[in-house]
Amino acid sequence: MRKARKMNSALRRFIITIVFLTMTAILTSACGQQTTNGQGKLNITATTGMITDVVKQVGGEHVEVSGLMGSGIDPHLYKASQGDVKKLDNADIIFYNGLHLEGKMAEMFEGLEKRKPTVAVSSYLTEEQLHAAPGQGEGMHDPHIWFNVKLWISAAEVIRDTLVEKDPSHEESYRSNATAYIEQLEELNTYAKEQIALIPEASRILVTAHDAFGYFGEAYGLTVTGLQGMNTMSEYGSKDVSELRDYLVDKKIKAVFIESSVPKKSIESVIEGARQLGHEVKIGGELYSDAMGDEGTFEGTYIGMVRHNVDTIVSALK
């Protein structure tokens, strides 16, 4: 009898502890929220690093930009943290890539549209400019539009027009920033074309781990082959590995490329297979595909990233 009561009181203590801890948690969570919107700047949140960079360039000093996906993060695998929720909550405008790059998150952006401007930077692109994702139903497109600099210029225009519309008082500044930046992008486009043209025509074949470079290949005249499908999560079959290996041997391809956000194990097995058939393939270097380099470095900007990719490809295949 006494023992039972002792147990009961212990149980009660356990429950009281839980209740107490819970209340502490509520209090801390209630205190945790505060917004940092100083000096009447527009708060802007963007999903990928590429978009964040363009918003910074076009918005300049009049906007406060925060990106959700940092360097090296695969957008297909991104998970929001509590801080990201606050960033999205506090944002005056949200920019995202669209075309299903952000997966289910995009569905939520579409729902959010009624309450705050959420803009897909791919929204100005026409059906002809987009690639269909091969073998898919209606309306499925390759989302990796940033690899064609021309298409990315249209993304900069989306951002410019949205900023002008939401913050007309700084229209002039946005327009001149955008014009200057688009000029840089045009130069970048020319640079990429000139550089890729240095590669002998028969060697203009780009082999990577996953199918992100479709737009890049089309814009700059490279044949693109990937081991994995567009989704970095999809499994590659043993047939994919052997087919790609035979392709490498057949076309005498000098180098294949790995990507910053995709593990390189898959591509290594192909290289090993080619070696056994007596064809030496080297890894031509690391390309930035779904994410950019570290913030603060040259590769951490959109222009730097594209230049890095172009230079890496050219020096390995030339």
Residue from 16, 37, 61, 103 in contact with another protein (CB under 8 A):
103
CB of residue 187 to another protein, shortest distance in Å:
33
Pair 253, 281: CB distance under 8 Å: yes
Q: Does 37 participate in binding another protein (rule CB under 8 A)?
A: no
What's the CA gap between 46 and 88, in Å, rounded? Answer: 9
The smaller minimum CB distance to another protein, of residues 24 and 37, is found at 24
What's the CA gap between 24 and 14, in Å, rounded? Answer: 15
Query: Buried (b) or exposed (e) across 1-18, using 16+ Cβ within 10 A?
Result: eeeeeeeeeeeeeeeeee
Residue from 34, 36, 82, 276 in contact with another protein (CB under 8 A):
82
Q: Does 33 participate in binding another protein (rule CB under 8 A)?
A: yes
Interacting stretch for another protein, rule CB under 8 A, among 82-90, 241-249, 277-285, 295-303?
82-90
Pair 45, 66: CB distance under 8 Å: yes
What's the CA gap between 253 and 161, in Å, rounded? Answer: 44
Instruction: Scan residues 13-32 and list those touching another protein (CB under 8 A).
Output: 14-15, 18-19, 21-22, 24-26, 28-30, 32
Q: Provide CB contacts within 8 A for 304, sequence distance 6+.
A: 292, 293, 297, 298
Instruction: Scan residues 279-318 and list those touching another protein (CB under 8 A).
Output: none
Quick one: angle between helices 302-317 and 171-197, nearest 10? 0
| Site residues (vs another protein, CB under 8 A) | 6-8, 10-11, 14-15, 18-19, 21-22, 24-26, 28-30, 32-33, 76, 79-86, 88-89, 100, 103-105, 107-108, 111-112, 114-115, 133-138, 140, 211, 229-231, 233-235, 237
